[in-house]
Structure 1
Amino acid sequence: MMFPRSIRDAISEVGVILSRRDQARLASIVLATTALAGIEVASLATIASFMLLVTDPGQAGDNWILSTIQSQFDPTSDIIYAGLVGGVLILSVVLRNIIAAGVTWYRLSVVEGLRETVASRLLASYLSQPFSFFYRINSATIAKNVTHEIDDFVSTYMNGIVLLASDVIVSGAIILFMIVQSPGAALIILVSTGALAGTVIVILKNRLGQMGHTHRKLNETRLKLVNESIGSIKEIRLLRRERYFYDLFSRTFRRLTDLHVRYQLMLESPRYILEVAIIIGLFSVFATLVWTSGSIAQAAPSAAVIVLACYRLTPIAHRIVNTFGSLRFNTAIRTAIAEVLVQRGRELEVLERPPVTPLPFRDRITMTAVGFDYDNREGALKEIDLTIRAGESVGIVGRSGAGKTTLVDVMLGLLEPTSGSVWIDDRKLDATAHESWSASVAYVPQFVFLTDASLAHNIAFGLNDDEIDRDLVEDVAHLAQLDDLIAQLPDGLDTVIGEGGNRLSGGQRQRIGIARAFYQDCALLVLDEATSALDTVTESAIQDAIHARRGLITQVVIAHRLTTVKECDRIIVMDAGRIVATGDYETLERDSPHFHALINVHAGPGK
């Protein structure tokens, strides 16, 4: 049997998102619900027996439950008989409710447990993405997917699937009970409610799917606006642009609110239609029973059973329609999560990385005819031929957008060249060598990322307390000229420095980044505008510390301030993705028009 495409897509994507263990636990919920459906029918049969005893005692002998009570207990009076039947009724209802509560608890514990497992796998999957992936996605999108989207997916989508399966099983059991009791009546109810429910689902299907896509986009915009507002608070205050960001956020939230109102209205409206349909169906059933039996008294027992079954079926029918609508609304979330997790197992490679041996680097780094294209820009690097000797100090300069950082990212193995190749000694830097090469390099960016943790944790970065070498932390902090900062902090190296190091100056943040690089036992040290935020005295002191390692490690320095690279063994000048000149400072100053233009820019007008 072929399922509709939407159902096939749902099964496929949920299979990608959930592990086999999670799928097995969800299947166990369905089994538990099947058992509950049987108990539900038994409870209905007991209630129907009690109603038969009340409305038509003369037919009690034809009822299996009532006749069993009579034969087993042989009551001596109607009071005892009624008490026994009532006791069985109460016991069946209590038993049903206890089991229903247990199944509900198990369902919630399993479904809510998905929140942690799916969110953790999703974050791990993001961490395993190629470096170029992060050029194409907004950080607010990642934050939203790992937090809000996971919450919606678990609480609404997965919980909805389990509820839908449970409700279908229970309603199927109730309908089967109705068919056994009165086939004609069951047919009338099924036609009146089933056709209507199916029509409502078809009408809502496409509309809710489109609304779900819009909801995701608005949620993403809302989170992005909050991040941008807080991240640019200094500029907002100075430029007095609070109103601009406030209005953007308010308009987005207003659209989101309007969409939520329409969504909830579309989910709630079918209930009123279904209730009318069931009332009409019940009236038709009662009229049919009276007509076929010849009197109201004869029709009453069967009608009472049908009313009771419909009483249980009505909220379930509404919940099925409601859940289906909710699933359609959240289809976009399911698809977005599945797209990230589609390569099952890749996230485990990130989490379970064994210790690696640093890639030996004793002779040279060679880049041969290297080219690189970003998705939205071709020719970021063009035909790069470059050799860097071990122990050499190399400066890279050029205008903004010349390709300096891209060149270094390819050299570090973060970006895979579109053309050409990179070699470390005689080993090609391909996917099999990335892990060991990353253990051989250290990198200091222009803007150092700091976590809301202690200074020691930010220097060691990504290590637990028992993994941090405190002596080494102190040594590299001294090399990075952090002694004065540590002396000022209340708890020294154990002081929490705040989100993004917001309690520190720009120069202090840079020095922490440099200490972090020194903490790594690296063969290649890359400084990407790493001293641009430092005063000249501190920069000179740190450069002395870096130069002290000259010959011991290979250094690549990206700089706009040409004095930063003046002492390098060799300077590479880049322009428009190409290497246009190379040599020492004096040679380039004399012979390279590109380098001379950079000197004039930094010297200022008229100098």
Structure 2
Amino acid sequence: MLLAGRKGQTLTAAEKAQARAVSLRRIGALFIGHRGHLALVVAVIVLSSVISMASPFLLREVIDVALPQSDLRLLVLLVAGMVGVAAATSALGVVQTWIATTVGQRVMHRLRTDVFAHLQRQSVAFFTRTRTGEVQSRITNDIGGMQQVVTTTATSVAANLTTVVATVVAMAALSWQLALVSLVALPPAVYWTRRVARMRQAITAQRQRELADLNVIIDEGLSISGVQLAKTMGASGALTERFAASSSRLIDLELRSELAGRWRMASMNIVFAIIPAVIYLAAGLPGTFGAMSIGTLVAFTGLQASLFRPLMSLLDVGVTLVASLALFQRIFEYLDLPVDIQEPATPVRLPEVRGHLRFEDVTFAYGDGATAALAGVSLDVPAGTSLALVGETGSGKSTIAALIARLHDPTSGRVCIDGVDIRDLALDDLAAIVGVVSQETYLLHTTIRENLRYAKPDATDTEIERAARAAQIHDLIDALPDGYDTMVGSRGHRFSGGEKQRIAIARTLLRDPRILVLDEATSALDNETERAVQRAFDTLSAGRTTITIAHRLSTVRNADQIAVIDHGRILESGTHDTLLEAAGHYATLAR
């Protein structure tokens, strides 16, 4: 069950445990292919940190030696060395950022692509039960929220950790006693940082679920269909209030995320600010007074200041990383989704597709425990013939069409093409064999030409025009000012239902499938256009196996065989004339 959709609720104990269960090893595995580049980044970071540690020692020599002795030559060399250290560390920083950002962006690209590709492999059932806005939110908001962690966290940890280690070593070399004084604040800092990290992790999970809800509202409320529904139902005000409430909750979560533990961290900053004063005090105590030069003290306090910056950054990175585990958990949850419609391990290749379709005692139910939508269906459609499926709404006709295209797999029995179970065919091969024109037409928000090329990217303009003529839509397209380059608008709402359906028919015909499934394909056409398209189908069906689903019996009376479906079972089958003579269910429908 997806985590989204529970507005304003906190994480349960189980959810917190699940978020913590995200393995850092699995996150690290994202970078396995970039180990060489990461090693180079670490080498650059170490080199930069080692070089930067020369600055306090150069400063000590300036104060203790060059200035008191008025040694101009030594002073120039020391100053030149300090400038050189700054230039070298800056240049190395640019190189480090370039390599690290490149690696991070490639990891993000791979992660986005993997999630998108995995979701493409999910069955229709997944998208039926999952909100579109939720899916979009995971790919955009969740992966976008991970970007900083993926692109900068690893290098930030390496850079700050190296700097901290190098700084502690340099401080110990200058004065091990003062180094101990400087590090007394480290244990409480680590403790409070862990507390803050846990707080932000829980808030981050809530925030991402709220972002998903917001995405759902946007997707449902600002699509063409959603806007039309809201206007005709007078629901615009309520929808705006729902959006405002979700946005308000998001503001609260963002504030809580930013302010989580701020007082604790502010207290640590105060402690860190006090430590230099303690160092000055310790340097003046009788046990150490006079034993330390002014240059050493200045160099040490400079190191101490440079220690706390990377130390606090390191602790902040820890907070960010732990908080981001909620994002990784949501993404890995999608990557771990089982694939219902699997590619066969060793696909069967059909050297020549004839299009002989068979249903062999097929039973199918939408989910475990659900009533069977089909029960013991057997059909035999020889290659090049036509089958019409008729029956009341909800009788199982569209389910049969979905099984032919393998949008679902049978619960039992099998569907075969030329004697081969379609589960043994590669999904791309099956898509090339079976073409579907459904009752619900979906057009992309692009030109007519690109909508048609979606079915066959390498189609020539001549092939596109031929398919459009066959679907009785060419003349209308040709009469438009921009012709085939006309934008269809969001979901094709620029065109009428019949025009959209004819464009969809042309798109399917462009692929020239051996098996053609027409699921109420002419339902949105007027009688005259329907007759024209039907004549085109009659011509194109020659040598092609055609399965037609229709409520209007006038469109199926010439089929080679007609099967009457009722509650998932075949009541009777035969030709139009034989079924009328039988005076059964078909005859009742005809009357």
Q: Distance in 2 between matches of 1:303 and 1:81?
A: 21
Task: After TM superposition, list the pairs within 5 Å mapping 1:1-12 onto structure 2.
Answer: 9-12=22-25
Structure 1 residues 6 and 123: CA distance shift in structure 2, 3 A = closer
Q: Aligned partner of 1:331: which letter?
A: L
Residue number among 329, 336, 342 corresponding to 1:335 in the alignment: 329
Q: Distance in 2 between matches of 1:49 and 1:598?
A: 103
Q: Distance in 2 between matches of 1:14 and 1:257?
A: 29
Q: Distance in 2 between matches of 1:469 and 1:543?
A: 25
Whether 1:46 and 2:58 are equivalent positions in the alignment is yes
Quote the sequence identity (%): 25
Structure 1 residues 311 and 507: CA distance shift in structure 2, 3 A = same
Task: After TM superposition, list the pairs within 5 Å mapping 1:414-493 onto structure 2.
Answer: 414-461=407-454, 463-464=456-457, 467-493=458-484
Whether 1:209 and 2:222 are equivalent positions in the alignment is no
The aligned residue for residue 44 of structure 2 is 32
Q: Residues 442 and 526 of structure 1 are in contact (CA less than 8 Å); yes or no, is this contact kept in structure 2? A: yes
Structure 1 residues 527 and 175: CA distance shift in structure 2, 3 A = same
Q: Residues 101 and 151 of structure 2 are in contact (CA less than 8 Å); yes or no, is this contact kept in structure 1? A: no
Q: Deviations over 1:451-492 (max 9, x none)?
A: 23322221231554xx22222211111111112321222232
Return 5+ residue gaps in structure 1 as ranges. 59-76, 601-607
Structure 1 residues 119 and 438: CA distance shift in structure 2, 3 A = same
Structure 1 residues 15 and 127: CA distance shift in structure 2, 3 A = farther
Structure 1 residues 217 and 343: CA distance shift in structure 2, 3 A = closer
Task: After TM superposition, list the pairs within 5 Å mapping 1:201-350 onto structure 2.
Answer: 201-231=193-223, 232-266=226-260, 268-291=262-285, 293-295=287-289, 298=292, 300-341=294-335
Residue number among 158, 168, 184 corresponding to 2:161 in the alignment: 168
Q: Distance in 2 between matches of 1:462 and 1:48?
A: 73
Root-mean-square deviation over aligned CA pairs: 3.3
TM-superposed CA distance for 1:362, in Å, is 4.9
Residue number among 513, 522, 530 corresponding to 1:531 in the alignment: 522
TM-superposed CA distance for 1:538, in Å, is 0.7
Structure 1 residues 258 and 6: CA distance shift in structure 2, 3 A = closer
SS at match of 1:504: coil
Q: Distance in 1 between matches of 2:187 and 2:131?
A: 45
Q: Distance in 1 between matches of 2:23 and 2:54?
A: 34
Q: Deviations over 1:408-461 (max 9, x none)?
A: 221222322222222223222224454433221111122222223322221231
SS at match of 1:490: coil
117-126 or 533-542: bigger deviation = 117-126
Task: After TM superposition, list the pairs within 5 Å mapping 1:139-158 onto structure 2.
Answer: 139-158=132-151
Q: Distance in 2 between matches of 1:378 and 1:19?
A: 47
Q: Distance in 2 between matches of 1:9 and 1:52?
A: 53
Whether 1:360 and 2:353 are equivalent positions in the alignment is yes
Structure 1 residues 435 and 102: CA distance shift in structure 2, 3 A = closer
Q: Residues 445 and 492 of structure 2 are in contact (CA less than 8 Å); yes or no, is this contact kept in structure 1? A: yes
Q: Distance in 2 between matches of 1:24 and 1:575?
A: 63
Q: Deviations over 1:113-146 (max 9, x none)?
A: 4343432333223223344433343322332233
Q: Aligned partner of 2:52: which letter?
A: E
TM-superposed CA distance for 1:550, in Å, is 3.7
The aligned residue for residue 583 of structure 1 is 574
Structure 1 residues 432 and 395: CA distance shift in structure 2, 3 A = closer
Q: Residues 402 and 574 of structure 1 are in contact (CA less than 8 Å); yes or no, is this contact kept in structure 2? A: yes
Q: Residues 22 and 328 of structure 2 are in contact (CA less than 8 Å); yes or no, is this contact kept in structure 1? A: no
237-246 or 401-410: bigger deviation = 401-410
Q: Residues 368 and 385 of structure 1 are in contact (CA less than 8 Å); yes or no, is this contact kept in structure 2? A: yes
Structure 1 residues 302 and 225: CA distance shift in structure 2, 3 A = same
230-239 or 160-169: bigger deviation = 160-169
Q: Deviations over 1:189-215 (max 9, x none)?
A: 2231x2122111221233222212111
TM-superposed CA distance for 1:294, in Å, is 4.3
Return 5+ residue gaps in structure 2 as ranges. 1-16
The aligned residue for residue 384 of structure 2 is 391
TM-score for both structures, normalised by structure 2:
0.87
Q: Aligned partner of 1:236: which letter?
A: A
Whether 1:555 and 2:546 are equivalent positions in the alignment is yes
Q: Residues 381 and 578 of structure 1 are in contact (CA less than 8 Å); yes or no, is this contact kept in structure 2? A: yes
TM-superposed CA distance for 1:580, in Å, is 3.4
TM-superposed CA distance for 1:248, in Å, is 0.8
Whether 1:519 and 2:531 are equivalent positions in the alignment is no
Whether 1:505 and 2:496 are equivalent positions in the alignment is yes
Whether 1:196 and 2:188 are equivalent positions in the alignment is yes
Residue number among 57, 79, 84 corresponding to 1:91 in the alignment: 84
SS at match of 2:166: helix
Structure 1 residues 254 and 489: CA distance shift in structure 2, 3 A = same
Q: Aligned partner of 2:215: which letter?
A: L
Q: Distance in 1 between matches of 2:294 and 2:487?
A: 76
The aligned residue for residue 12 of structure 2 is none
Q: Distance in 2 between matches of 1:271 and 1:296?
A: 36
Structure 1 residues 469 and 306: CA distance shift in structure 2, 3 A = same
Q: Deviations over 1:499-540 (max 9, x none)?
A: 322321111110011111111121110011211111111111
Structure 1 residues 86 and 549: CA distance shift in structure 2, 3 A = closer
518-527 or 560-569: bigger deviation = 560-569
532-541 or 585-594: bigger deviation = 585-594
Structure 1 residues 10 and 30: CA distance shift in structure 2, 3 A = farther
Structure 1 residues 89 and 159: CA distance shift in structure 2, 3 A = closer
TM-score for both structures, normalised by structure 1:
0.85
Q: Residues 395 and 572 of structure 1 are in contact (CA less than 8 Å); yes or no, is this contact kept in structure 2? A: yes
SS at match of 1:442: strand
Q: Aligned partner of 2:41: which letter?
A: I
How many residues were matched structurally? 570
Q: Deviations over 1:354-381 (max 9, x none)?
A: 9976762354423334334336845233
Q: Distance in 1 between matches of 2:322 and 2:516?
A: 51
